Amino acid sequence: MELYYILLMKSHLESYPCPLQINSYWNFGFLLGITIILQIISGLLLSFHYTSDIEFAYFSIFFLIREIYYGSYLRYFHSSGASFIFIFIYIHISKTIFYLSFLYNYNIFLSGISLFLYIMSIAFLGYVLPFGQMSFWGATVIINLLSPFPSLIEFLCGTYSVYNPTLKRFFLFHFQFPFLISTFIIIHIFYLHFISSNNPLRNTINNKISFFPFMTSKDFFILYLYILFIQIQNNFYFYTFSHPDNAKEVCPLLTPLHIVPEWYFLCQYAILKAVPNKNAGFIILLTSIFIFFLFGEIKNISILFYISSIYSYYLFIICYLYIYILLIVIGGQFPQDYFLSHGRILTLYYYFIIICILLSL
């Protein structure tokens, strides 16, 4: 049995064949896995000092920051790590779509999008736990989207609004879901190692090198740069990714001037605000993510032989990234007529460009 595990590690960590032509974009998958592990470890340490009670949750965070040795660093390392996870996810998915990796093994892409959805749910649950002013009202807005489903809010929250049972259940889910996601990560890596990685020249070459030491040296160099950057960010710009209103204590009777989520949810939030009807906005919000599952159903390898289709495909990809960035900017603005009209136009372009990408394949 010990020999089996040794051979398993050797085949996947040392002699695993990798394409010679892969560039630095392939290192972000490794960075994403390391960041998730660091998030699990830092979250486990934070849970030792957190109290999931509506009366003490906010003060337990500030007790951790002010009284616990290196507590402030641990807290901001964990909160900033969520932003880094989404940065790496967006780069990782963009690389997959840009280099047409989903054409060769769609199970990798489908498992990756499923992981993306799970990580979004974990990030939302974790954003509510500090129970600041923005956390409370953000949770109230999202939970009210479930009002068309009978008794679903009462089932999830334990009451009719965000209150003490809600916080306890969110903490329980936020603590357990990362361990469940580890299983999906293993499945994702299993499908990846089933046929090896893609490369900029597509998965049609036989020039392979061993994972160790060639790929591991690149991975650890990128990891060194990431650790250096996150040290600078946590020591000098630790509150860059957070909203200032979330540092205030909850006041259920005082609605913030502008309820805004974290930056990695701003695109979906802009789409939600662009639709006047709440139920229709919730459906469009879900379809903006679920539509990526359609990429896994495309298996037309002959696209590689049509140069005009390739050029149009890359043009649509660039337009999609531009629209996505604009939606992030619009999502952080006040819900005024000027920004709402632009959000509606960008939402239409969002689906139009994705349909154009699918049709170009």
The residues assigned a catalytic role are: 193, 197, 218-219, 262
**262 contacts: CB under 8 Å, gap ≥ 6:** 82, 83, 123, 127, 241, 242, 243
Separation of CA 223 from chain center: 19
Longest Cα–Cα distance of the chain, Å, equals 66
Rg from Cα positions in the chain: 22
| DSSP code, position 17 | E
Separation of CA 237 from chain center: 21
By the 8 A CB rule, do 249 and 137 touch? no
Q: What are phi and psi of 209, to 5 degrees?
A: -130, 160
| Interatomic CA distance for residues 157 and 159, integer angstroms | 5
**16 contacts: CB under 8 Å, gap ≥ 6:** 193, 196, 210, 211
